[in-house]
Structure 1
């Protein structure tokens, strides 16, 4: 066989296989449609600050050791239980997930808007382990020596 004959046979076999697949797809078009609709796109993008309510059990944070409490989270719509002014536009906040909760989160934020107790605030940041409310935090005496989780703030949404 020469080159022309080999090229002719090869092209003939390619054309035959193409026509057979097109015939099969025209005979069973529904199977191709079903297969196309069954594919789901799964978003692999994780939010930069996942909601803390979905990551941890906030009813008993004492069950976690300090090593576990190092993660990026969003404290969404937490209540401001108490606050103290440290300097101009800088405040120490004591937060709770619910108005009646005794699970506290303590942080320092720079904010220009006025703060009010029992108002809600959203904070995105990094949990920084367990701590206790201290005298130097300048919060109400009823919160002294209460267990709290320290939060390093990246962003405040008020």
Structure 2
């Protein structure tokens, strides 16, 4: 005979296993549908490019249409690469700035810990004063008559 704790633990483990199996099944299903959708979207993209090429070829000729389309796509790709490089540089600057802020906080915390170790009573008094000064007080509500 099992104890109640063992039965509860076993029940919990079975629930976790069921949720994992459901999540894996849902993920597989989503991956299959997403793959089919991506394949269809790529097919539509290729057909649109072919239609544009045929339409341009009827006006300008085959070679100029292909070269113009290739130039346009290359230009768009270069613009996207430039945007990506800009965003990566901006993120790197933000990471450096955050790293400097964290370093300054660590140094300040180390200084505070050193001061607290040397003068524990002064640190406790300062902490108590700050706690009393910054405590959330009862807010008074204004009456409509006031």
- TM-score higher than 0.5 here? no
- Band of TM-score, shorter chain: under 0.3
| More strand per residue | 1
Compute the TM-score of the two structures, normalised by the length of structure 1: 0.22
Compute the TM-score of the two structures, normalised by the length of structure 2: 0.23
Give the greater-gyration-radius structure (CA). 2
